[in-house]
Structure 1
């Protein structure tokens, strides 16, 4: 027996899969190229978390909504994440600081994003992928705003976003220390919890009462992320250090990084 019943084929299937490719692969790859070719390029590892999170969300959520299959979204999201990491390394990003932690973050985030796409396919039938595109665009806009204008958006808003949770967990795996990686467990727990609640709603559709469970879990896990945030993400105060382990060392600064958008803020050069 299938875990989730098969949904109808998507309306305008070519546009659906094109949207998944553009949001999941093309846009993140172009972002990496823009950072590399900037006049004062930033190390890709320092901004890899937000880029990978948006790539996973675009590929996993839209693909699952278009196909009506959870596993298709998960597989495509994982392939997208692996491909983007290899592409970043080809552009000069060093080896992963914590491969196992990064892999775990990619897996949990892929399942969480694909679960939302599968729910859209169940609830909106053949037009579920359009909802997925709108959600991806909305969360991406917030992350980009937080990156371009750190401190502009309130902390509580960023704490509500699953894309922000994924960005925190992935970025920690890319550049964090072992202690930092354990501290990001709240983001991973939030992603896993919302995935379970979302799949419950999709499984019991068209019953509406499970939505109460899903939204309650989402708010509760957002509060967990708010009260137990992951470690600050590398920003302008970090300098690339050629250490034997390939990690980055902190550079002393006069001010602490802004915690509200630390997981999405790009480097600011002196």
Structure 2
């Protein structure tokens, strides 16, 4: 998970790291504080998914290294889990399956950030910020107003896959029960890293988008409990 070959490390800046901290730590932490009275496990999935996505995707794009994004996402996830436990948002059991789901999601989000860094250099983190903001807004809306957004839209979003997998794990479902969103996260990570490794060749984008659509269909037909 080192810097991908032939990639110039982006010229990181203070705004990039501030955006990483804001999206990955501050916003989810504020959400935990505001939603402390919510039923345990109800909002934990979207909050943890947002934190992992913010830290992993923006961090990887800012640093130009996949492993930095993964490490930041996992550290952020651990901190949010601890905060959630203290606030009563996370049930005390089933944290190990949730940790596995968070690991898969962290790699998937960081892979996208690494691709942004490879294709857009020092502007990649701006793309990551836009993607994180968009997906976070959609999964927050889906959590706050169930049924308002069409299911076909939600199944297209890796952030929603992560949220569903984490929620299922925290609810006591087996890893196999959440297999479709986990497989989707892992599959898109592999396809994204293929594109990044073969950049500037453009044909791998077809593989990536085909994989994304196929795995979205898998999630549609096999939703997490």
Shorter-chain TM-score above 0.5: yes
Map of 2:9 onto structure 1: 8
Q: TM-score, normalising length from structure 2?
A: 0.95
Name the structure 2 match of 1:194: 188
1:44/1:88 contact within 8 Å kept = no
The aligned counterpart of 1:225 is 219
- Pick from 195, 199, 205: which aligns with 1:205? 199
Cα distance, 1:157–1:20 mapped onto 2, change above 3 Å: same
> Please, which moves more after superposition, 143-152 or 1-10?
1-10
Task: Give 1:117's aligned residue.
Answer: 113
Q: What is the DSSP-based 3-state SS (H/G/I as helix, E as strand, rest coil) of the residue aligned with 1:28? A: helix
Distance 1:92 1:145 in 2: 22
Q: Give distance in 1, aligned partners of 2:165 and 2:102.
A: 9
In structure 2, how many angstroms separate the alpha carbons of the residues matched to 1:96 and 1:184? 19
Segments of structure 2 that go 5 or more residues without pairing to the other structure are none
2:137 paired with 1:141: yes
Q: Secondary structure at 1:45's aligned position in 2?
A: coil
- Aligned partner of 2:167 in structure 1 is 171
Please give the secondary structure, in 2, of the residue aligned with 1:195.
helix
Q: Give the whole-Å Cα distance in 1 for the aligned partners of 2:123 and 2:163.
A: 28
SS of residue paired to 1:177? coil
Q: CA separation of 1:188/1:96 partners in 2, compared to 1, >3 Å: closer, same or farther? A: farther
TM-score, length basis structure 1: 0.79
1:126: Cα distance to partner? 0.6
The alpha-carbon deviation at position 141 of structure 1 amounts to: 1.2
Q: Indicate if the aligned counterparts of 1:9 and 1:67 stay in contact, CA closer than 8 A.
A: yes
Name the counterpart of 1:185.
179
Q: Secondary structure at the match of 2:223?
A: coil
Residue aligning to 1:54: 50
Larger Rg: 1
Structure 1, 61-70 or 141-150: larger mean CA deviation: 141-150
Question: Which has a greater percent of helix?
Answer: 2
How many aligned positions are there? 224
